[in-house]
Amino acid sequence: MKQLRKSIRVIALVLALMVLLPIGYGGYSLIRYGTRWRTSEYNTYLTSMKSGVTAGSIYDRNGVTLASTTVSTDETGETVRTRTYAQDASVRAAVIHVVGDTRGNVKNAAESFMAEYLYGTNMSYAERLKQVLSTGSLRGDDITLTLDSSLCAYAASLFPQDKSGAIVVMNYKTGEIYALQSFPNYDPQSGKTVTVRQALNRATRWLSAPGSTFKVITLAAALQSLPGAAESSYTCTGGVSFGEHQRVVTDYGAAAHGTLTLKDAFMKSCNSTFAMLACQMGDKALRKTAQSFGLDDAFTFRDLVVENSAYASSSAALLGADLAWTGAGQNQLAVTPLHMCMVAAAVANDGVMMEPRLLLRAVGAEGAERQTFEPAVYRTAMDAQTASTVREYMRAVVTGGTGRSAAVRGLTVCAKTGTAEIDTQEKDNAWFIGFIDDDAYPFAVCVAVENAGTGGAVAAPIAQKIFARLAGK
């Protein structure tokens, strides 16, 4: 009998867990991913809610109209709502991956992801009733984005027309995004069929090895985990072998840099040195620092959906050449341009990584401000002292290293270039991350150009012009 009661208790416990675990996971998922589900194009309830509501307008930070709705009546007396976008075609194309369009070509753009404001689904039933009784219809909130549409149009004009890639500009003090662009883009009012290539938001969804821009993270890890790393000297012969199969990590163009300080190695983007550093500190230390910068996180930002970046495809410790190549910015690393902009921003902001923001405010149909949105700290990536040293090294990249083409007279620009080798492509992916080290112009920039060449030759000159524009140079 005692054994029977014990068995019954075990069975009861198992049954309880079978009920409670799905409920618990469902609750967790609702909290974590609720906004994504609620604003999904597959949400039929949202679709039906939209049908009888006049969508609010979308403005950039300077009051430029990016989207608005015109209401008219057709010959049958039916209400017709027409959604139109910015007057300037270059602006329409430059902001399309943030604003979106009525056909939902761009997933998780403002037209869908911020529908709770634009279509008033966040309003109480009392507020909805009051609006209907006073105006005879329902209208959603107007929203103001952090975007600078003029800057977006200018940045788009700089990007190679035949290439794919992304540009991200953000305020590293507040997380406000001034530009979030993917290429190729398209004009939502052109009437042309939108291709998958045009619709994909490469700034937030394209995952790629970041090349030598990852050396910012490897450098931070070395400074924090290898005592004396900054004072040591390193020898580069153009390549170094790792592992039992003697796989070689080579430097770009097989360059032999000779004897280097750590700063010199960073300036010249020496793969051999950073490969050796990765192996010296070990996978645990490098992985820990990478994760402190947000790799392997499940990104659930309030204002936008971003693909999760990955340090490696499994949790197994990296060894030999795999670890060496990871330290140099290759191997299994997979990050988005937005995330790499956040990495640069954290260096500029004394190690503090701000959550990326697209919403400034929401204003109700009667003109009353419904909500303002404040900056939020996402995480601390490193201590302020380490960030200061990394800033110093990134400054040297611009004054005498691979990022000289990003220099702007009168500005303290700090940067890291990257050239990611992709076996399936004719050319490498060109990367650049950097920032203006000046509280008057607290901007970080990422430029990524697919299948284009080196970061110093292709991406850095684009960033240079953006920095100059931001500072009025």
User: Model confidence at 315, in pLDDT bands (50, 70, 90)?
Assistant: confident
Report the interhelical angle of 149-158 vs 460-470 (nearest 10°).
150
Residues 304, 329, 354, 175: is their CA dihedral positive or negative? Answer: negative
Q: Which residue has the tokens 């409670």?
A: 20
pLDDT for res 428: 94
* DSSP per position, 175-225: -BEEEEEEES---TTS-PPPPHHHHS-HHHH--B--GGGGHHHHHHHHHHH
Instruction: Determine the average pLDDT of the residues in 334-359.
Output: 98
Residues 459, 460, 463, 468: is their CA dihedral positive or negative? Answer: negative
Q: Among candidates 358, 355, 218, 190, which has minimal Cα distance to 283?
A: 218
Q: What percent of the chain is predicted at pLDDT more than 70?
A: 86
Quote the DSSP letter at residue 335: B
Q: Is the pLDDT of residue 201 over 50?
A: yes
Q: Among candidates 402, 408, 424, which has minimal Cα distance to 472?
A: 408
Q: Is 233 a catalytic residue?
A: no
Over the chain, what is the mean pLDDT? 88
Assign a CATH topology to domain 211-358+374-470. Beta-lactamase (3.40.710)
User: Model confidence at 23, in pLDDT bands (50, 70, 90)?
Assistant: low
Length of the chain: 473
Tokens of 335: 């990050």
Between the alpha carbon of residue 291 and those of residues 31, 129, 273, 392, 438, the distances in Å are: 23, 48, 22, 23, 27
pLDDT tens digits, residue range 155-182? 999 999 999 999 999 999 999 999 999 9
**pTM score of the predicted model:** 0.88
Q: Which residue has the tokens 């490469």?
A: 202
Name the active-site residue from 57, 149, 212, 292.
Answer: 212
